[in-house]
Structure 1
């Protein structure tokens, strides 16, 4: 029986990718790295800052990567002032609470970003468990963030459903054994299915989602 919903953050709770792209472009432009939509999709979306900066600036030191990552996240928080929940999200969260399901967050973002975004969306108090990149030694695509969330929720993988928008996130959720929806804010349905999505949705209003939620709740 379904007992929890576990959400990625960027691109899942909110369509924040355009703001992240702008922040990366602002910080990496002076480094000679052009960040366009194709680069964002192929080299950034869903990955940890550690791997992003290592791949885009291989000649820089780890300390320089960390400094630039901090600047990028600060730029994101400065730019992300008008965030709105993805269509239908609040309905899903309300439904989960009405049916006494637990709600968790699993993100590769730092805690400062998670706090900023959840507060801006007005949903911070809804999440019983929040796993940010500081909470684990390995981020997505490793399943550890999801396994950590399940452990803290006190649940097995079969008792939860995950929502992800990126290849790395979907790989992590599926490796942890979770039934997973691919949220189509950045990638196509085919791309999400290729990395393991059980089903895909454009928004949280999609009937396919509600059919699955009702069937899983009944066991």
Structure 2
């Protein structure tokens, strides 16, 4: 069956925002005299639980912290780190190839639309996507709801779509929705277990999209 749609995760997949977010949280923890355990980060990466989980963990080390007071500062720090960030290497080539083949494109992200949409626009890739599904309107990964919503928005069946993810939680979501899933880990996630993925690539430049389409 031919591939009619590609669905991309956003954070860490289309752009390596996760490195900046992790750096920001590490700085917050150090300001409070402790280190952020990476296993705690990996437990929630790719889900919608990252911020609550980080504040809860920080509160264990620094009782009495005010998350609402810290939230604007941590967000501002992340945005400064992201100012010059572009799409991951090879992403534009995949998007252009998909456009040339008439393949529909969607984003399925556990993050909010208020986070995802401005970044897509800033990166200059928002015009490629036929639909953007976000975690403020759908159940976050590893639930399959985001991918099911993307398939519905694109009018395609799961067998006709390929998902691209950078975290095991994301892979679980895509596979639960019935999609073929290509994992493209980034520097933060490459040590994690991607055993559920159909294909694992070290980068988008490692294999052209045409090779995946003919697979």
Q: 1:109-165 CA distances to partner (integer Å, 9 max, x unpaired)?
A: 2223212321232101111111111121x2001111111111111111111100001
Mapped pair 1:146 → 2:153: no
Q: In the alignment, what sits opposite 2:93? A: 91
For structure 1, which runs of at least 5 residues remain unmatched after alignment? none
Partner of 2:207: 207
Query: Which residue is equivalent to 2:45?
Result: 45
Q: CA RMSD in A?
A: 2.7
TM-score of the superposition, structure 1-length normalised? 0.82
How does the TM-score come out when normalised to structure 2? 0.83
5 Å-filtered alignment, 1:11-90, equals 11-30=12-31, 34-35=35-36, 38-39=38-39, 41-48=41-48, 49=50, 52-53=53-54, 56-57=57-58, 71-90=73-92
- The answer to whether the aligner puts 1:157 opposite 2:158 as a matched pair is yes
- Please give the alpha-carbon distance, in whole angstroms, between the structure 1 residues aligned to 2:54 and 2:145: 21
Task: Provide, for residues 180-211 of structure 1, a one-character-per-residue CA deviation record: whole Å limited to 9, x for no partner.
Answer: 00102133477212xx1001112222237532
Q: Give distance in 2, aligned partners of 1:68 and 1:105.
A: 29
Q: Is the 8 A contact 1:13 1:86 kept in 2?
A: yes
The structure with the greater share of residues assigned to helix is: 1
Partner of 1:105: 107
Name the structure 1 match of 2:180: 179
Task: Please give the alpha-carbon distance, in whole angstroms, between the structure 2 residues aligned to 1:151 and 1:66.
Answer: 36
- SS of residue in 1 equivalent to 2:23: helix
> Runs of 5+ in structure 2 lacking a partner?
none
Contact 1:50 1:66 in 2 (8 A): no
CA distance in 1, matches of 2:86, 2:100: 22
* Helix, strand or coil at the partner of 1:174: helix
Tell me which of 124, 127, 132 is aligned to 2:126. Answer: 124
